[in-house]
Structure 1
Amino acid sequence: MDSGISAPALVGAILTLDHFERLSGMVSGHSFVKVVVDRWTGTIHFIDSAREQFHAYYIAKHILGITVAELDAEIDEYNRSFYVDPDRRFYLGVLCLHRHARHGLLLSLETVEVDLMSTAMLLDLYRFVRRYVDPALSLRLKPATHRQEEQLAAVPEDEVPQIAAHEIFSATPYFALQPGTAAGRLRAFRDVAAYYRADPPLEWYDIVAMERAPDDIPRLSGIVNAGRTTPLSHTNVLAAGWGIPNAVQVGALDLIDAEGLDGAWVWYEVDPAAAGIRLTRIARPPTVDSPLPGTVCRVTVEPPDTAVAPIAALADLRVTDVCRYGTKAAHLGELLHLLTAGSDRLLGWYQATRDPRPHLMGYLRGLLGVDESADVDGAALGLLREVTVMPGVALPFALHREFLESSPELGRSVDGLRAPPAGDSSRLRELALRTPVPEAVRRRILAAIRAHLGAATRFVVRSSSNAEDLAGFPAAGLYTSVTGVTTTDAVIDAVRRVWASLYTPRGVRLRHQAGIAVDDARMGVVVQEQAPATMGGVLVTTNPAVPHDFRNVYLNVSTSSVEHVVNGVGEPIQMLFNTVEGGGRTISLGDAAHDLAEGDRRRLERLALIGRFLQAHFAFDTVNAPVDIEWVATPDRISLVQLRPYAV
């Protein structure tokens, strides 16, 4: 074949950098080329990514001489022959091009994550590909899973050079957190202090570029993170919920300075298939010359019920109690009920069709270690019961109403928010923090804690509003929760702080922009025994980098607390777990010095599978609608902290 590469692949020839660039596709800032090694003929195929999306389809059409429909009809059998059979005909791999700070320009070679190659097969694949890659190009084998890391741990570097996934990730300058486009005024800040001194103040049409956008960021038109961060920080969850373009672009501030874009009007593009963000200077859009309309978007809120309601044990609540106790309380109550009573919806995600597969139940049986005659529902519930939800009580919206009505001044301040121009919400919040909780209310709260949490010595007091976790209004980190509460006086003070957090200027402004009226937003409170923790984190039942990747669940892990993940201050360990064929991989160590121990990784793999069952049970839209789960763990148990929908 000549170097023009007119066919759908470069076959049996040496791959040069020029060939690579003409064949490659792009994902998450990396250019890649798919590789097929035909062991029967001793031939290598470097596939043109623009012509062939999948290894299997290329093999069907150009090697086996069958149609895609014929392959799809027997897809599970073909997948076994491609990824499981020790005597298989084909090796499948992916070459990615990297510009690494330590290793320079290099190609990494990895298998498909579901591949169960033996160590000998992995080495054979590397050596075969090495023969057909230009000797001037550095080639390193990248373990695709934790299993492969363990397999290759004893292989000497001089025999097969290797590079870990987290080494690649740490050197990757671009990551599309939320794809999209926007026109706006670019505002660049070198540090957080400069951001808080912003002059003129930030507007809805601004696009902010800084090392890491802080948790209290207002609604904007776009975000550029010049430093690495996790998709699961509160700020990035908000950006996803708002649907605004958001990316990591290392070095963005220097680029903005070099091109004189700070303060300029730009067209901002975040495309996962691009090599980086695009910032193009434009004229000032006429749409920003008029004041911001009353709402940026219109969010639907179920009317709250503020009629007299009891302080309830979490275990007595169900998901339908959102209108009286708020989202967190209702979801925690549903979780407790689920752990006790089970559900006929646990298997829904695996029973759904994944074209061309009618369902994934065979894979689920394999993950659960049961055969076709077993009670799969029972096995799923047994796994689910490996996690716990700490006991607690839920304070209804009615109690918040009683608190507000106990002070005429509080009532007048709330009235001032109802009609434009809105009153001073910061004054209302400060007033709420100073107003004593009525003695009758205080006694009821403490009586409920004694009745349901009498043995607890440490509490967490959580916000639970109806104006959160909504389509278009995620509200992650918007309201106050208080951890480490140890006295009854501190519990009452924390409850008051949670109630007052409904009236922060930022919260009032964001709800106004979402079309949520003052009287449609109410605050409930959850008081729980605080779960002990040696590590914590967040998982979402999707892959934020590749939303069409239905197999993987994405986890962020901190060896200190959930807060380390969601507050965006540090970088957590980032992992993916395959909930179809099984297995997992660490894609970033973040701030950690080393990866988790094998036992912890196995526990989190099971937690990922539990996440699928919870996704199916809660089914906010369809069984494919992902959920966001916060959790904490000790060596002997995992406790779920909260569950909510995750915007994609």
Structure 2
Amino acid sequence: AEYAEPADAALAALRGRMSGSAELAERLDAVLAALDADAPAAAGRELSELLLAVRRRIIAPASGDDRLVLLDLSLDVERVLFRQVGTWRARDLRGLAARAELLARGAAGAGFLELWELESVLPRLDVGAEDDMVHPVELAELAATCDRVAAWCAGLASATFDPAIRRFGFEPLAAGYVDDCLRGSVVLALGEAAERLARAAAVRSGVRSRLMDMPAAGGARGVNPGLAEGLLEVQADPADPVTFAPDRICVLARPPANLTPVAGLLTLSEGNPVSHVQLLARNLGIPNVVLAAPHLEALRAHAGERVFLAVSPRGTVVLKPVAELTVAERELVVRESREPDLMHVPVDRVDLDATGPVDLRWLRAADSGRLCGPKAANLGQLKALFPEHVADGLVIPFGVFRAHLNQSRPQGGGTYRQWLHDAYARAEARRRAGEADDAVERELLADLARFREMIESMPFLPGFTADLRSGFESALGGPPEDVPVFVRSDTNMEDLRDFTGAGLNLTLPNVQGERALLDGIRAVWASPYSERSYRWRQRILANPEDVYPSILLQASVAVDRSGVMITGGVAGGASGDLTVAFNRGVSGAVEGQAAESWLLRADGRDELLAPSRESQHMVLSAGGGVARQAKPFSAPVLTTDERETLRRLGGLLQQRLAGIVDGALDVELGLRGGEAWLFQVRPFVQNRRSQGSSYLRGLDEAADAGAPVSWATPLEDLEPGGDERPGTEVEE
């Protein structure tokens, strides 16, 4: 073999350094035997196992000197493995799958994966020697798993090195450090294997994703279904500014936490599948795609072009120039571009006469839209059903906010409410007069910014502070100085049948003390008038002046970990599955964090979708506020027992809330000492038009119709034209 002698020489030099470990010496002998037998693939497998064995010894109890020797040894073995995987390519489908598995093992051995992450994914990478055939859908799932593992590797490298990269950002070379690490490792080959598996699945099924003029779009994976047309905006560097607008299809490294409306989204990192941003995108039918790094590079050449993006419910992706649309696709774009029917904020049930605080325990789901928003109303219902699992709380109803708006402004010129009404009326008059939408919007946003400032300095009505303190002590068992709370916005424009509104308004964590509480109430009242809230709502809202915020003051709970649970398979699962995303500490997983995500299947299997890549988590501070703590990634956020607790809880919630909350549930919760604490429950709202689109469903139909393929099928039969590279061997 062309590269066997250099590999032999490099490995022989390592032989003497393994004399202290019989296990490592035996594994090295197995590598050398495979090379002697001219079996490069077998040598690659043995090198991966050797690298894993070294990794395990590094983290075992040992002296500092011994660990330094092992670290040096690990780097040397990794270099040999990296060179070795370039000396052969798989001949058939089974060989390609085996190559992907050994590369995942090698990536873990090199430190790009935690060992528990590897163990969790190995069953999905093992194709089984007893299986002769594979369905194209299963092949696509294997490709997606390999692609995810490569993304986990990239995420761990970023999480590890990003603090140093930011510190040395003045050095231009720092920005490319993580990419250089990945390209010089077996992770690069793992990504290539994932892409080739995806191409094979596409060829066999007849379903093929398309990304502009790229010859290979394997590795592109749809997250949220939908279709859009717009200008392609490509963020070449994460530090570069990017224009988020309803007519832009944006290509980014990672989904931002505070995204404003866009036509479509393509990112290198999937992020958290149940974050507020992803839930809003899914709700409004904004197509979302995960790319491989080479795709982003290639799309830079198309920045500024007008493109069409479609993502099917099963993740097939089509991105192409508008000029190439078929007649049917053009009609589809015209239909989709029509202004949606505007929703009216439901005000017919709002009880504005309730102007005093209400104990959470007296509220029920039926009070949603009447006294308060759905957050507090549903939590009141949960408090009745699960009293030991919902923290005490006090609710400031809609009527209190409206009463404060009815005050005359100290500056004169009428009431606060009249000022807001006039601002919207001026904007509408300018639109009808034919003024450009951009100019009208800029002026309205400036007015809303002034209105927020007014609310944040608005005097409280006489008696409000005394009523608040009395209600607080009664509901929460002590004064604000002794009982810290989360101050949570809860409007009448959330969790509606066709709009979730997730994460658009303010939550202030662990507020303690009366002055901080009063300031927090004003800030939360002002938050529905932020630019981001306006931009998400203005697409669908006919009467924005009738948005009323209520406020939930809920006792802080120092949970060990927290996150979101959807009682449905968001990430490709069946209706009986659960999707959960958790991080350590409080407020985990909801604000765009790189959370640990699982698909908890109804049959009892747990499928890791993504490990956490947040190097720090938020904890409650004594005396109010929050602090950051660091934790390594060496153990999962959720234990097996905790995942089972969530599985049981999901079933129980669906059973108890049947007839109260329709359909699948979106639950925010925390775990402390193995016990669950419930912070929010609402319907899981999806875009029915995207889910039901016959065009989008049609992109998936060929995959279902595809016939099984033999694992022994030569890759050249699955990839017309092949990609034979000079200087490579072919081995089963």
TM-score (norm 1): 0.62
Q: 1:425 aligns with which of 443, 448, 451?
A: 448
Matched, 1:501 2:527: yes
Deviations 1:258-312 (CA, angstroms, capped at 9, x unpaired): xx221111011223556655333438989999xx98x544335431332234311
The correspondence of residues 76-225 of structure 1 with structure 2, limited to 5 A, is 97=97, 100=100, 103=103, 126-129=128-131, 173-191=219-237, 194-195=240-241, 198=243, 202-225=244-267
Q: Secondary structure at the match of 2:302?
A: coil
CA contact (8 A) 1:212 1:226 kept: yes
C-alpha change, 1:307 and 1:126, in structure 2 (3 Å) is same
- Name 2:320's counterpart in structure 1: 279
CA distance in 1, matches of 2:448, 2:286: 26
- Name 1:520's counterpart in structure 2: 546
Q: Secondary structure at the match of 2:377?
A: helix
CA contact (8 A) 1:311 1:394 kept: yes
Q: Secondary structure at the match of 2:351?
A: coil
CA distance in 1, matches of 2:679, 2:356: 23
Matched, 1:266 2:268: no
- Name 1:454's counterpart in structure 2: 477
- Give the C-alpha shift of residue 221 in structure 1: 1.7
- Name 2:280's counterpart in structure 1: 238
Amino acid across the alignment from 1:401: R
Deviations 1:565-585 (CA, angstroms, capped at 9, x unpaired): 1211x4111112233x33423
Unmatched segments (≥5 aa) in structure 1 = 1-93, 107-120, 133-138, 144-166, 341-384
- Give the C-alpha shift of residue 517 in structure 1: 0.7
Matched, 1:335 2:382: yes
C-alpha change, 1:394 and 1:168, in structure 2 (3 Å) is farther
CA contact (8 A) 2:487 2:554 kept: yes
The answer to which structure has the higher strand fraction is 1
CA contact (8 A) 1:229 1:248 kept: no
The more displaced of 465-474 and 265-274 is 265-274
Deviations 1:461-510 (CA, angstroms, capped at 9, x unpaired): 10111101123321111100100211111111111111001211332343
Q: What is the CA RMSD across the aligned residues, in angstroms?
A: 4.0
CA contact (8 A) 1:101 1:171 kept: no
Q: Secondary structure at the match of 2:647?
A: helix
Q: Which has the larger radius of gyration?
A: 2
CA contact (8 A) 1:215 1:477 kept: no
- Give the C-alpha shift of residue 234 in structure 1: 1.4
Q: Secondary structure at the match of 2:405?
A: helix
Deviations 1:93-115 (CA, angstroms, capped at 9, x unpaired): x9995985971899xxxxxxxxx
Q: 1:602 aligns with which of 641, 650, 657?
A: 641
Aligned length in residues: 453
- Give the C-alpha shift of residue 396 in structure 1: 0.4
CA distance in 2, matches of 1:474, 1:412: 28
CA contact (8 A) 1:186 1:263 kept: yes
- Name 1:228's counterpart in structure 2: 270
CA distance in 1, matches of 2:355, 2:510: 27
Deviations 1:309-334 (CA, angstroms, capped at 9, x unpaired): 43111110000111221111101101
Amino acid across the alignment from 2:303: D
The more displaced of 216-225 and 269-278 is 269-278
CA distance in 2, matches of 1:442, 1:169: 63
- Give the C-alpha shift of residue 620 in structure 1: 6.9
CA distance in 2, matches of 1:261, 1:327: 44
CA distance in 2, matches of 1:170, 1:435: 60
CA distance in 1, matches of 2:358, 2:612: 40
C-alpha change, 1:457 and 1:190, in structure 2 (3 Å) is farther
- Name 1:359's counterpart in structure 2: none
- Give the C-alpha shift of residue 337 in structure 1: 1.2
Q: Secondary structure at the match of 1:256?
A: helix
The answer to which structure has the higher helix fraction is 2
- Name 2:402's counterpart in structure 1: 401
- Name 2:204's counterpart in structure 1: none
CA distance in 1, matches of 2:98, 2:319: 20
Matched, 1:299 2:299: no
CA distance in 1, matches of 2:543, 2:679: 29
C-alpha change, 1:572 and 1:203, in structure 2 (3 Å) is closer
Unmatched segments (≥5 aa) in structure 2 = 1-93, 107-122, 135-141, 147-189, 196-218, 410-414, 429-443, 615-631, 687-732
CA contact (8 A) 2:488 2:524 kept: yes
- Give the C-alpha shift of residue 556 in structure 1: 0.6
Q: Secondary structure at the match of 2:565?
A: strand
Q: Secondary structure at the match of 1:419?
A: helix
CA distance in 2, matches of 1:598, 1:461: 26
Moved over 6 A (4+): 121-125, 167-172, 283-289, 620-623
Matched, 1:635 2:680: no
- Give the C-alpha shift of residue 609 in structure 1: 2.5
Amino acid across the alignment from 1:517: N
C-alpha change, 1:609 and 1:277, in structure 2 (3 Å) is farther
Q: 2:577 aligns with which of 552, 556, 573?
A: 552
CA distance in 1, matches of 2:394, 2:637: 36
Q: Secondary structure at the match of 1:436?
A: coil
Matched, 1:533 2:574: no
TM-score (norm 2): 0.55
- Name 1:470's counterpart in structure 2: 496
CA distance in 2, matches of 1:185, 1:131: 43
Q: 2:613 aligns with which of 591, 598, 601?
A: 591
CA contact (8 A) 2:580 2:597 kept: yes
Identity, in percent, stands at 24
CA contact (8 A) 1:228 1:250 kept: no
